[in-house]
Chains A and B, each alone.
Chain A
Amino acid sequence: MCNVTIVDYSVYLPESRIHVKEAIQQIKADGIDFQTSESDYLNRGFELVPIEEELDLEQMIATVCRPILRRALQKNVQIAAVMFASVTNNENVNRNLFDFLIEEFALEAVPVIPLEEYACSTMHLSLWLASNYFMVPCQQGEGILFITADRAMNSYERSDTFMVFGDGASAALFMKGQREGQQTLASVMRVDGLVYDLAPDRIRLYYSTFYLGVRQAVRAALNESSIHIAQIELVFCTNLGLHVWSMLAQVLKVPLERFYNLTLALDGHIHNTDILNNIEHAIRTGLLKHDDFYMTISVGFGGYYGCAIHQYVKEVNELCI
Protein backbone atom coordinates (compact mmCIF):
# COMPACT_ATOMS: atom_id res chain seq x y z
CA MET A 1 0.00 0.00 0.00
CA CYS A 2 1.32 3.37 -1.00
CA ASN A 3 1.76 5.89 1.75
CA VAL A 4 3.09 9.03 0.11
CA THR A 5 1.69 12.50 0.58
CA ILE A 6 2.39 15.26 -1.90
CA VAL A 7 2.78 17.87 0.82
CA ASP A 8 3.78 20.78 -1.36
CA TYR A 9 4.06 21.66 -5.03
CA SER A 10 4.81 24.55 -7.30
CA VAL A 11 4.17 25.18 -10.99
CA TYR A 12 5.82 27.74 -13.25
CA LEU A 13 4.56 28.49 -16.74
CA PRO A 14 5.90 31.36 -18.82
CA GLU A 15 3.38 34.11 -19.51
CA SER A 16 4.29 34.31 -23.17
CA ARG A 17 2.15 32.11 -25.45
CA ILE A 18 2.00 31.60 -29.18
CA HIS A 19 -0.93 30.13 -31.09
CA VAL A 20 -0.54 26.46 -31.87
CA LYS A 21 -0.99 27.26 -35.60
CA GLU A 22 2.05 29.53 -35.43
CA ALA A 23 4.03 26.86 -33.56
CA ILE A 24 3.18 24.23 -36.18
CA GLN A 25 4.09 26.58 -39.03
CA GLN A 26 7.43 27.30 -37.35
CA ILE A 27 8.37 23.66 -36.78
CA LYS A 28 7.32 22.77 -40.34
CA ALA A 29 9.45 25.65 -41.67
CA ASP A 30 12.37 24.13 -39.76
CA GLY A 31 11.95 20.86 -41.64
CA ILE A 32 9.90 18.80 -39.17
CA ASP A 33 7.37 16.51 -40.81
CA PHE A 34 4.49 17.29 -38.43
CA GLN A 35 1.98 14.45 -38.70
CA THR A 36 -1.27 16.29 -38.03
CA SER A 37 -2.98 19.11 -39.88
CA GLU A 38 -3.40 22.41 -38.03
CA SER A 39 -7.19 22.05 -37.99
CA ASP A 40 -7.04 18.48 -36.63
CA TYR A 41 -4.63 19.59 -33.95
CA LEU A 42 -6.98 22.43 -32.96
CA ASN A 43 -9.86 19.95 -32.85
CA ARG A 44 -7.95 18.01 -30.21
CA GLY A 45 -8.45 20.98 -27.89
CA PHE A 46 -5.06 22.65 -28.25
CA GLU A 47 -4.86 26.39 -28.77
CA LEU A 48 -1.84 28.08 -27.20
CA VAL A 49 1.75 27.03 -26.50
CA PRO A 50 3.69 28.55 -23.56
CA ILE A 51 7.10 29.76 -24.73
CA GLU A 52 9.81 30.73 -22.26
CA GLU A 53 11.59 33.89 -23.35
CA GLU A 54 13.29 35.12 -20.20
CA LEU A 55 14.46 32.40 -17.86
CA ASP A 56 16.96 29.67 -18.66
CA LEU A 57 16.37 26.11 -17.52
CA GLU A 58 18.32 26.56 -14.29
CA GLN A 59 16.28 29.66 -13.41
CA MET A 60 13.03 27.85 -14.19
CA ILE A 61 14.10 25.05 -11.83
CA ALA A 62 15.03 27.55 -9.11
CA THR A 63 11.67 29.35 -9.55
CA VAL A 64 9.63 26.24 -8.75
CA CYS A 65 11.96 24.85 -6.08
CA ARG A 66 12.66 27.96 -4.00
CA PRO A 67 9.20 28.31 -2.42
CA ILE A 68 9.02 24.58 -1.65
CA LEU A 69 12.53 24.45 -0.17
CA ARG A 70 11.89 27.59 1.92
CA ARG A 71 8.72 26.08 3.39
CA ALA A 72 10.52 22.75 3.88
CA LEU A 73 13.29 24.53 5.76
CA GLN A 74 10.75 26.25 8.03
CA LYS A 75 9.18 22.90 8.84
CA ASN A 76 12.54 21.16 9.34
CA VAL A 77 11.96 18.79 6.44
CA GLN A 78 15.20 17.08 5.42
CA ILE A 79 15.52 16.52 1.67
CA ALA A 80 16.67 12.90 1.24
CA ALA A 81 16.97 12.99 -2.55
CA VAL A 82 16.04 15.01 -5.59
CA MET A 83 14.59 13.33 -8.66
CA PHE A 84 14.77 15.26 -11.88
CA ALA A 85 12.89 14.83 -15.14
CA SER A 86 13.53 16.73 -18.32
CA VAL A 87 12.26 15.29 -21.56
CA THR A 88 13.53 18.08 -23.78
CA ASN A 89 16.83 18.94 -22.24
CA ASN A 90 18.72 15.76 -21.53
CA GLU A 91 22.05 16.95 -22.78
CA ASN A 92 23.48 19.30 -20.25
CA VAL A 93 26.97 17.89 -20.27
CA ASN A 94 29.34 19.86 -18.07
CA ARG A 95 26.53 21.81 -16.53
CA ASN A 96 24.93 21.33 -13.18
CA LEU A 97 21.44 22.77 -13.29
CA PHE A 98 21.16 22.67 -9.52
CA ASP A 99 24.28 24.64 -8.51
CA PHE A 100 22.40 27.72 -7.28
CA LEU A 101 19.83 25.72 -5.34
CA ILE A 102 22.38 23.38 -3.81
CA GLU A 103 24.38 26.31 -2.52
CA GLU A 104 21.40 28.34 -1.37
CA PHE A 105 19.79 25.50 0.56
CA ALA A 106 22.97 23.60 1.58
CA LEU A 107 21.98 20.48 -0.35
CA GLU A 108 25.55 19.41 -1.23
CA ALA A 109 25.13 15.97 0.33
CA VAL A 110 21.74 15.30 -1.28
CA PRO A 111 21.78 13.01 -4.33
CA VAL A 112 20.27 14.60 -7.42
CA ILE A 113 19.07 11.81 -9.68
CA PRO A 114 18.10 12.58 -13.28
CA LEU A 115 15.70 9.87 -14.45
CA GLU A 116 15.48 9.25 -18.17
CA GLU A 117 13.52 7.35 -20.84
CA TYR A 118 10.13 7.42 -19.06
CA ALA A 119 9.31 10.61 -20.99
CA CYS A 120 6.08 12.23 -19.70
CA SER A 121 5.54 9.43 -17.19
CA THR A 122 8.62 10.28 -15.09
CA MET A 123 6.41 12.04 -12.55
CA HIS A 124 4.70 8.74 -11.76
CA LEU A 125 8.01 6.87 -11.81
CA SER A 126 9.28 9.31 -9.19
CA LEU A 127 6.14 8.91 -7.09
CA TRP A 128 6.46 5.13 -7.34
CA LEU A 129 10.16 5.24 -6.38
CA ALA A 130 9.34 7.54 -3.47
CA SER A 131 6.65 5.11 -2.30
CA ASN A 132 9.33 2.40 -2.25
CA TYR A 133 11.64 4.66 -0.27
CA PHE A 134 8.94 5.44 2.30
CA MET A 135 7.84 1.82 2.63
CA VAL A 136 10.70 1.03 4.97
CA PRO A 137 11.31 2.81 8.25
CA CYS A 138 12.92 6.15 7.55
CA GLN A 139 13.58 9.23 9.58
CA GLN A 140 10.60 11.39 10.46
CA GLY A 141 10.53 14.58 8.47
CA GLU A 142 12.30 13.26 5.39
CA GLY A 143 11.14 14.41 1.98
CA ILE A 144 11.89 13.59 -1.63
CA LEU A 145 11.79 16.48 -4.06
CA PHE A 146 10.58 15.85 -7.59
CA ILE A 147 11.53 18.50 -10.15
CA THR A 148 10.69 18.70 -13.81
CA ALA A 149 11.58 21.42 -16.30
CA ASP A 150 11.55 21.72 -20.06
CA ARG A 151 12.50 24.54 -22.37
CA ALA A 152 12.69 23.85 -26.08
CA MET A 153 15.74 25.46 -27.67
CA ASN A 154 14.78 24.62 -31.25
CA SER A 155 11.97 23.09 -33.30
CA TYR A 156 13.30 19.57 -32.77
CA GLU A 157 12.78 20.06 -29.05
CA ARG A 158 9.43 21.80 -29.63
CA SER A 159 7.94 18.80 -31.44
CA ASP A 160 8.51 15.09 -31.98
CA THR A 161 6.38 15.27 -35.18
CA PHE A 162 3.29 14.05 -33.25
CA MET A 163 2.85 16.80 -30.65
CA VAL A 164 3.81 20.38 -29.88
CA PHE A 165 5.45 20.81 -26.48
CA GLY A 166 5.22 23.92 -24.31
CA ASP A 167 7.84 25.20 -21.87
CA GLY A 168 7.35 25.02 -18.13
CA ALA A 169 8.55 23.66 -14.82
CA SER A 170 7.05 22.15 -11.71
CA ALA A 171 8.14 20.54 -8.49
CA ALA A 172 6.51 18.48 -5.75
CA LEU A 173 7.62 17.44 -2.31
CA PHE A 174 6.80 13.85 -1.37
CA MET A 175 6.71 12.78 2.27
CA LYS A 176 5.65 9.69 4.12
CA GLY A 177 1.99 9.65 5.23
CA GLN A 178 1.27 13.23 6.29
CA ARG A 179 -2.22 14.27 7.37
CA GLU A 180 -2.57 17.20 5.01
CA GLY A 181 -1.94 17.33 1.28
CA GLN A 182 -2.50 15.08 -1.68
CA GLN A 183 -2.71 11.61 -0.20
CA THR A 184 -1.56 8.83 -2.51
CA LEU A 185 -3.45 5.61 -1.90
CA ALA A 186 -1.85 3.64 -4.71
CA SER A 187 0.85 4.27 -7.26
CA VAL A 188 1.59 1.99 -10.18
CA MET A 189 4.05 1.97 -13.09
CA ARG A 190 3.63 -0.25 -16.15
CA VAL A 191 6.33 -0.39 -18.80
CA ASP A 192 6.21 -1.67 -22.36
CA GLY A 193 9.22 0.33 -23.54
CA LEU A 194 8.35 -0.55 -27.12
CA VAL A 195 9.86 2.47 -28.81
CA TYR A 196 13.57 3.02 -28.32
CA ASP A 197 14.45 4.71 -31.59
CA LEU A 198 12.61 6.22 -34.53
CA ALA A 199 11.70 2.92 -36.22
CA PRO A 200 8.18 3.56 -37.66
CA ASP A 201 6.86 0.02 -37.06
CA ARG A 202 7.49 0.20 -33.33
CA ILE A 203 6.02 3.71 -33.15
CA ARG A 204 2.89 2.45 -34.97
CA LEU A 205 2.66 -0.50 -32.60
CA TYR A 206 2.96 1.85 -29.64
CA TYR A 207 0.16 4.11 -30.91
CA SER A 208 -2.11 1.15 -31.50
CA THR A 209 -1.55 -0.46 -28.09
CA PHE A 210 -0.81 2.30 -25.55
CA TYR A 211 -4.39 2.32 -24.23
CA LEU A 212 -3.91 -1.28 -23.08
CA GLY A 213 -0.92 -0.23 -20.98
CA VAL A 214 -2.92 2.62 -19.46
CA ARG A 215 -5.82 0.26 -18.70
CA GLN A 216 -3.49 -2.19 -16.95
CA ALA A 217 -1.93 0.57 -14.84
CA VAL A 218 -5.34 2.01 -13.91
CA ARG A 219 -6.80 -1.39 -12.98
CA ALA A 220 -3.77 -2.22 -10.84
CA ALA A 221 -3.94 1.14 -9.06
CA LEU A 222 -7.68 0.80 -8.39
CA ASN A 223 -7.17 -2.72 -7.05
CA GLU A 224 -4.32 -1.64 -4.83
CA SER A 225 -6.32 1.22 -3.34
CA SER A 226 -9.65 -0.68 -3.13
CA ILE A 227 -11.32 2.34 -4.69
CA HIS A 228 -14.03 1.87 -7.31
CA ILE A 229 -13.71 3.92 -10.47
CA ALA A 230 -17.14 5.46 -9.74
CA GLN A 231 -15.66 7.06 -6.61
CA ILE A 232 -13.13 8.98 -8.69
CA GLU A 233 -14.26 12.60 -8.98
CA LEU A 234 -11.60 13.83 -11.40
CA VAL A 235 -8.98 12.33 -13.69
CA PHE A 236 -5.81 14.35 -14.23
CA CYS A 237 -4.15 12.96 -17.31
CA THR A 238 -1.21 14.06 -19.42
CA ASN A 239 -2.54 16.73 -21.82
CA LEU A 240 -2.45 14.55 -24.91
CA GLY A 241 -5.60 15.98 -26.48
CA LEU A 242 -9.32 15.26 -26.52
CA HIS A 243 -8.96 12.38 -29.01
CA VAL A 244 -6.70 10.46 -26.61
CA TRP A 245 -8.83 11.30 -23.58
CA SER A 246 -12.01 10.18 -25.34
CA MET A 247 -10.40 6.87 -26.17
CA LEU A 248 -9.12 6.41 -22.61
CA ALA A 249 -12.50 7.43 -21.15
CA GLN A 250 -14.14 4.72 -23.22
CA VAL A 251 -11.57 2.07 -22.34
CA LEU A 252 -11.62 2.94 -18.64
CA LYS A 253 -15.40 3.37 -18.57
CA VAL A 254 -15.13 6.83 -17.05
CA PRO A 255 -17.25 9.72 -18.36
CA LEU A 256 -15.05 12.01 -20.46
CA GLU A 257 -16.27 14.95 -18.32
CA ARG A 258 -14.25 13.59 -15.39
CA PHE A 259 -11.02 14.26 -17.35
CA TYR A 260 -9.89 17.66 -16.14
CA ASN A 261 -9.68 19.71 -19.33
CA LEU A 262 -9.32 23.31 -18.21
CA THR A 263 -5.61 23.71 -18.97
CA LEU A 264 -5.60 21.95 -22.34
CA ALA A 265 -6.35 24.94 -24.58
CA LEU A 266 -4.25 27.60 -22.86
CA ASP A 267 -1.27 25.55 -21.65
CA GLY A 268 -1.26 22.57 -24.00
CA HIS A 269 1.12 19.70 -23.29
CA ILE A 270 4.17 20.44 -21.14
CA HIS A 271 5.73 17.03 -20.61
CA ASN A 272 5.76 16.08 -16.89
CA THR A 273 4.31 19.41 -15.78
CA ASP A 274 0.77 18.66 -17.05
CA ILE A 275 -0.39 16.73 -14.02
CA LEU A 276 0.77 19.13 -11.31
CA ASN A 277 -0.46 22.03 -13.47
CA ASN A 278 -3.89 20.43 -13.71
CA ILE A 279 -4.07 19.66 -9.98
CA GLU A 280 -2.97 23.20 -9.13
CA HIS A 281 -5.57 24.61 -11.53
CA ALA A 282 -8.36 22.42 -10.14
CA ILE A 283 -7.60 23.50 -6.58
CA ARG A 284 -7.48 27.15 -7.62
CA THR A 285 -10.81 26.89 -9.45
CA GLY A 286 -12.36 25.00 -6.54
CA LEU A 287 -13.23 22.00 -8.71
CA LEU A 288 -11.06 19.69 -6.65
CA LYS A 289 -12.56 19.66 -3.20
CA HIS A 290 -11.54 18.50 0.23
CA ASP A 291 -11.86 14.71 0.60
CA ASP A 292 -12.29 14.11 -3.15
CA PHE A 293 -10.75 10.96 -4.57
CA TYR A 294 -8.99 11.59 -7.85
CA MET A 295 -6.80 9.74 -10.29
CA THR A 296 -3.62 10.82 -12.06
CA ILE A 297 -2.60 9.12 -15.31
CA SER A 298 0.56 9.74 -17.27
CA VAL A 299 1.52 8.40 -20.65
CA GLY A 300 5.20 8.44 -21.59
CA PHE A 301 5.96 8.20 -25.30
CA GLY A 302 7.31 4.78 -26.14
CA GLY A 303 5.34 2.76 -23.62
CA TYR A 304 5.53 4.08 -20.04
CA TYR A 305 2.26 4.26 -18.10
CA GLY A 306 1.77 5.66 -14.63
CA CYS A 307 -1.38 5.76 -12.54
CA ALA A 308 -1.99 6.85 -8.98
CA ILE A 309 -5.09 7.16 -6.83
CA HIS A 310 -5.17 10.17 -4.54
CA GLN A 311 -7.34 11.92 -2.02
CA TYR A 312 -7.18 15.65 -1.47
CA VAL A 313 -7.04 16.41 2.23
CA LYS A 314 -7.20 20.17 2.39
CA GLU A 315 -6.99 20.72 6.08
CA VAL A 316 -7.22 18.47 9.05
CA ASN A 317 -9.92 19.26 11.54
CA GLU A 318 -7.99 19.35 14.79
CA LEU A 319 -11.06 18.13 16.71
CA CYS A 320 -10.96 14.90 14.75
CA ILE A 321 -7.54 13.83 15.95
Chain B
Amino acid sequence: MYLTIHHVEAAEGVEMPWVRITDLIETNRHWTEGIDLLCYCHQTDFETGVNGCAKLRQELGLSEVMPISVGQSGSLSLSNALTILDWMFSNGTKNHALCIIADSFIPDHMDKQGSRLSMIALIGASTIAGDYRVESCRKLPSTSVRVGAKSAVEPILKLGLHQSEFTSNREMEVVTFDAGVFGTSQLKLRRT
Protein backbone atom coordinates (compact mmCIF):
# COMPACT_ATOMS: atom_id res chain seq x y z
CA MET B 1 0.00 0.00 0.00
CA TYR B 2 1.11 3.53 -0.75
CA LEU B 3 0.36 6.69 1.23
CA THR B 4 0.35 10.33 0.21
CA ILE B 5 0.03 12.89 2.95
CA HIS B 6 -2.16 15.50 1.27
CA HIS B 7 -2.49 17.89 4.14
CA VAL B 8 -1.82 18.12 7.87
CA GLU B 9 -2.60 21.04 10.15
CA ALA B 10 -3.23 22.05 13.73
CA ALA B 11 -5.08 25.30 14.19
CA GLU B 12 -6.77 27.25 16.95
CA GLY B 13 -10.23 28.65 16.47
CA VAL B 14 -13.79 28.63 17.71
CA GLU B 15 -15.34 26.71 14.82
CA MET B 16 -15.66 22.95 14.45
CA PRO B 17 -13.40 21.88 11.59
CA TRP B 18 -16.18 20.43 9.35
CA VAL B 19 -16.14 23.38 6.96
CA ARG B 20 -12.35 23.45 6.88
CA ILE B 21 -12.27 19.75 5.93
CA THR B 22 -14.89 20.05 3.18
CA ASP B 23 -13.23 23.23 1.83
CA LEU B 24 -9.85 21.50 1.64
CA ILE B 25 -11.35 18.54 -0.24
CA GLU B 26 -13.57 20.66 -2.50
CA THR B 27 -10.52 22.65 -3.65
CA ASN B 28 -8.50 19.47 -4.15
CA ARG B 29 -11.04 17.23 -5.84
CA HIS B 30 -8.34 14.97 -7.25
CA TRP B 31 -7.92 13.62 -3.70
CA THR B 32 -11.32 11.92 -3.97
CA GLU B 33 -11.16 10.95 -7.64
CA GLY B 34 -11.60 7.20 -8.06
CA ILE B 35 -11.70 6.42 -4.35
CA ASP B 36 -13.55 3.30 -3.21
CA LEU B 37 -13.40 4.03 0.50
CA LEU B 38 -13.76 7.04 2.76
CA CYS B 39 -12.07 6.38 6.06
CA TYR B 40 -12.69 8.65 9.03
CA CYS B 41 -10.69 8.40 12.24
CA HIS B 42 -11.09 10.39 15.40
CA GLN B 43 -10.45 10.30 19.12
CA THR B 44 -12.68 13.19 20.17
CA ASP B 45 -16.31 13.76 19.18
CA PHE B 46 -16.78 17.21 17.66
CA GLU B 47 -20.48 17.14 18.31
CA THR B 48 -22.49 14.53 20.19
CA GLY B 49 -24.80 12.61 17.90
CA VAL B 50 -23.01 13.51 14.67
CA ASN B 51 -21.51 10.70 12.60
CA GLY B 52 -18.47 12.32 11.03
CA CYS B 53 -17.86 9.83 8.24
CA ALA B 54 -21.52 9.78 7.13
CA LYS B 55 -21.69 13.58 7.30
CA LEU B 56 -18.57 14.16 5.20
CA ARG B 57 -19.58 11.41 2.76
CA GLN B 58 -22.96 13.06 2.19
CA GLU B 59 -21.69 16.63 2.08
CA LEU B 60 -18.92 15.77 -0.35
CA GLY B 61 -21.33 13.86 -2.61
CA LEU B 62 -19.44 10.59 -2.12
CA SER B 63 -22.49 8.37 -1.61
CA GLU B 64 -21.06 5.64 -3.89
CA VAL B 65 -18.03 5.33 -1.65
CA MET B 66 -18.00 2.90 1.26
CA PRO B 67 -17.51 4.63 4.62
CA ILE B 68 -15.32 3.26 7.40
CA SER B 69 -15.12 4.96 10.76
CA VAL B 70 -12.51 4.09 13.38
CA GLY B 71 -12.66 5.66 16.83
CA GLN B 72 -11.46 5.12 20.38
CA SER B 73 -7.97 4.27 19.24
CA GLY B 74 -6.03 7.35 20.34
CA SER B 75 -2.80 7.67 18.47
CA LEU B 76 -3.34 4.20 17.00
CA SER B 77 -6.23 5.42 14.82
CA LEU B 78 -4.24 5.63 11.59
CA SER B 79 -2.55 2.29 12.10
CA ASN B 80 -5.95 0.69 12.85
CA ALA B 81 -7.41 2.28 9.73
CA LEU B 82 -4.48 1.05 7.62
CA THR B 83 -5.02 -2.46 8.97
CA ILE B 84 -8.62 -2.40 7.71
CA LEU B 85 -7.63 -0.80 4.38
CA ASP B 86 -5.01 -3.46 3.88
CA TRP B 87 -7.69 -6.17 4.22
CA MET B 88 -9.98 -4.44 1.76
CA PHE B 89 -7.25 -3.68 -0.75
CA SER B 90 -5.84 -7.19 -0.66
CA ASN B 91 -8.56 -8.85 -2.76
CA GLY B 92 -8.04 -6.38 -5.58
CA THR B 93 -11.57 -4.99 -5.86
CA LYS B 94 -10.77 -1.78 -4.00
CA ASN B 95 -7.70 0.30 -4.70
CA HIS B 96 -8.02 3.85 -3.43
CA ALA B 97 -9.09 5.48 -0.19
CA LEU B 98 -9.08 8.90 1.38
CA CYS B 99 -8.42 8.92 5.12
CA ILE B 100 -9.66 11.87 7.10
CA ILE B 101 -8.23 12.00 10.58
CA ALA B 102 -9.65 14.82 12.62
CA ASP B 103 -9.99 15.93 16.21
CA SER B 104 -11.16 19.08 17.88
CA PHE B 105 -10.96 19.76 21.59
CA ILE B 106 -10.44 22.44 24.20
CA PRO B 107 -6.90 21.96 25.48
CA ASP B 108 -6.16 22.37 29.18
CA HIS B 109 -3.85 25.32 28.61
CA MET B 110 -6.18 27.25 26.27
CA ASP B 111 -6.70 30.78 27.63
CA LYS B 112 -9.22 32.21 25.19
CA GLN B 113 -12.80 31.32 26.05
CA GLY B 114 -14.40 28.84 23.63
CA SER B 115 -11.24 28.47 21.62
CA ARG B 116 -10.50 25.00 20.37
CA LEU B 117 -7.53 23.20 18.98
CA SER B 118 -8.45 21.41 15.77
CA MET B 119 -6.18 18.94 14.06
CA ILE B 120 -6.78 17.58 10.59
CA ALA B 121 -4.84 15.12 8.45
CA LEU B 122 -5.90 14.11 4.95
CA ILE B 123 -4.08 11.07 3.65
CA GLY B 124 -4.51 9.22 0.40
CA ALA B 125 -4.05 5.44 0.48
CA SER B 126 -3.62 3.49 -2.74
CA THR B 127 -2.51 0.13 -4.00
CA ILE B 128 -0.91 1.75 -7.04
CA ALA B 129 1.14 4.84 -6.20
CA GLY B 130 1.91 7.39 -3.50
CA ASP B 131 4.68 9.39 -1.85
CA TYR B 132 5.47 6.60 0.58
CA ARG B 133 5.31 2.85 0.36
CA VAL B 134 4.12 1.22 3.58
CA GLU B 135 6.86 -1.24 4.54
CA SER B 136 5.12 -2.35 7.69
CA CYS B 137 2.34 -1.34 10.00
CA ARG B 138 2.16 -3.28 13.23
CA LYS B 139 1.20 -3.03 16.82
CA LEU B 140 4.15 -3.39 19.17
CA PRO B 141 3.90 -5.78 22.10
CA SER B 142 4.72 -3.11 24.64
CA THR B 143 2.56 -2.32 27.60
CA SER B 144 0.19 0.57 27.46
CA VAL B 145 0.51 3.61 29.69
CA ARG B 146 -2.29 5.27 31.57
CA VAL B 147 -2.17 8.57 29.70
CA GLY B 148 -4.35 8.91 26.62
CA ALA B 149 -3.43 10.81 23.47
CA LYS B 150 -5.62 13.85 23.03
CA SER B 151 -5.81 13.50 19.29
CA ALA B 152 -5.59 10.82 16.66
CA VAL B 153 -3.76 13.35 14.45
CA GLU B 154 -0.73 13.97 16.69
CA PRO B 155 1.58 11.28 15.25
CA ILE B 156 0.70 12.31 11.71
CA LEU B 157 1.62 15.93 12.41
CA LYS B 158 5.07 14.58 13.22
CA LEU B 159 5.16 12.77 9.90
CA GLY B 160 3.74 15.71 7.94
CA LEU B 161 6.49 17.93 9.25
CA HIS B 162 9.13 15.28 8.43
CA GLN B 163 10.06 15.02 12.06
CA SER B 164 9.81 11.29 12.11
CA GLU B 165 12.56 9.15 13.47
CA PHE B 166 15.08 8.31 10.78
CA THR B 167 16.63 4.93 10.74
CA SER B 168 20.14 4.38 9.40
CA ASN B 169 18.39 4.15 6.07
CA ARG B 170 17.76 7.78 5.07
CA GLU B 171 14.93 6.85 2.75
CA MET B 172 12.99 5.12 5.46
CA GLU B 173 10.80 7.08 7.82
CA VAL B 174 9.61 5.33 10.93
CA VAL B 175 6.75 6.71 12.93
CA THR B 176 6.11 5.23 16.31
CA PHE B 177 2.59 5.93 17.39
CA ASP B 178 3.00 6.88 21.02
CA ALA B 179 2.08 4.47 23.73
CA GLY B 180 -1.23 5.66 25.06
CA VAL B 181 -3.97 3.73 26.76
CA PHE B 182 -4.35 1.68 23.61
CA GLY B 183 -0.71 0.61 23.29
CA THR B 184 1.97 1.38 20.74
CA SER B 185 2.25 0.78 17.05
CA GLN B 186 4.86 1.43 14.46
CA LEU B 187 4.57 2.48 10.85
CA LYS B 188 7.56 2.11 8.54
CA LEU B 189 7.37 4.14 5.36
CA ARG B 190 9.79 4.28 2.44
CA ARG B 191 9.87 7.34 0.21
CA THR B 192 9.09 6.50 -3.38
Binding site for B on A (CB under 8 A): 81, 84, 90-96, 99, 102, 108-118, 129, 132-133, 135-136, 189, 191-198, 302-303
Chain A residues near B143 (CB-CB < 8 A): 108
A114:B84 contact, CB within 8 angstroms = no
Q: What residue in chain B is nearest A97 (Cβ atoms)?
A: B72
Does B27 sit at the interface, judged by CB under 8 A? no
Interface residues of B in 28-48 (CB under 8 A from A): 40, 43-45, 47
The 28 sampled A-B contact pairs (Cβ below 8 Å) are A81-B83, A84-B72, A92-B72, A93-B72, A93-B148, A94-B147, A95-B148, A102-B183, A108-B140, A108-B141, A108-B183, A109-B139, A109-B140, A109-B141, A110-B139, A111-B79, A115-B69, A115-B70, A117-B53, A117-B54, A129-B84, A132-B87, A136-B90, A193-B51, A195-B54, A196-B54, A302-B54, A303-B54
Chain A residues near B66 (CB-CB < 8 A): 189, 191
Besides the known contacts A90-B45, A116-B71, 5 further A-B residue pairs in the complex with CB atoms under 8 A apart: A93-B44, A93-B72, A94-B181, A109-B138, A197-B51
A196:B51 contact, CB within 8 angstroms = yes
Chain B residues near A133 (CB-CB < 8 A): 87, 90
Set A84, A94, A113: member contacting B83, Cβ < 8 A: A113
Interface residues of B in 65-82 (CB under 8 A from A): 66-73, 76, 79-80
B80:A111 contact, CB within 8 angstroms = yes
Binds A, one of B55-63, B110-118, B165-173: B55-63
Q: What residue in chain B is nearest A90 (Cβ atoms)?
A: B71
**CA of A136 to CA of B79 in the docked complex: distance in angstroms?**
20
Give the number of residues in B that approach A within 8 Å (Cβ atoms). 46
Chain A residues near B63 (CB-CB < 8 A): 192-193
Secondary structure class of chain A's binding surface, majority of residues: loop
Chain B residues near A108 (CB-CB < 8 A): 139-143, 183
A95:B181 contact, CB within 8 angstroms = yes
**In angstroms, how far is the closest chain B Cβ from the Cβ of A29?**
21
Does B185 sit at the interface, judged by CB under 8 A? yes
Set B49, B67, B68: member contacting A198, Cβ < 8 A: B49
Set A111, A118, A196, A197: member contacting B185, Cβ < 8 A: A111
A93:B90 contact, CB within 8 angstroms = no
B128-153 vs A, Cβ < 8 Å mask (1 yes, 0 no): 00000000001111111011100000
Chain B residues near A112 (CB-CB < 8 A): 73, 80, 182
Q: What residue in chain B is nearest A95 (Cβ atoms)?
A: B181
Give the number of residue pairs across the A-B interface with Cβ within 8 Å.
114
**CA of A189 to CA of B88 in the docked complex: distance in angstroms?**
13
Does B50 sit at the interface, judged by CB under 8 A? yes
Q: What residue in chain A is nearest B45 (Cβ atoms)?
A: A91
**In angstroms, how far is the closest chain B Cβ from the Cβ of A217?**
13
Chain B residues near A302 (CB-CB < 8 A): 51, 54
Q: Given A129-B87, A136-B91, verify A113-B80 contact (CB < 8 Å).
A: yes
**CA of A111 to CA of B70 in the docked complex: distance in angstroms?**
12
Chain A residues near B72 (CB-CB < 8 A): 84, 90, 92-93, 114, 116
A96:B144 contact, CB within 8 angstroms = yes
Q: What residue in chain B is nearest A202 (Cβ atoms)?
A: B58
Chain B residues near A115 (CB-CB < 8 A): 68-70
**In angstroms, how far is the closest chain B Cβ from the Cβ of A296?**
20
B43:A132 contact, CB within 8 angstroms = no
Chain A residues near B87 (CB-CB < 8 A): 129, 132-133
**In angstroms, how far is the closest chain B Cβ from the Cβ of A31?**
15
Chain A to chain B: the 3 pairs with minimum beta-carbon distance, closest first: A196-B54, A94-B148, A196-B55
Q: What residue in chain A is nearest B81 (Cβ atoms)?
A: A113
A193:B54 contact, CB within 8 angstroms = yes
Q: Of B40, B54, B80, B182, which is in contact with the most chain A CB atoms at under 10 Å from its CB?
A: B54
B43:A93 contact, CB within 8 angstroms = yes
Set A93, A102, A117, A189: member contacting B51, Cβ < 8 A: A117
**CA of A93 to CA of B139 in the docked complex: distance in angstroms?**
20
**CA of A91 to CA of B54 in the docked complex: distance in angstroms?**
18
Chain B residues near A118 (CB-CB < 8 A): 69
**CA of A302 to CA of B182 in the docked complex: distance in angstroms?**
29
Chain A residues near B53 (CB-CB < 8 A): 116-117, 193
**In angstroms, how far is the closest chain B Cβ from the Cβ of A189?**
8
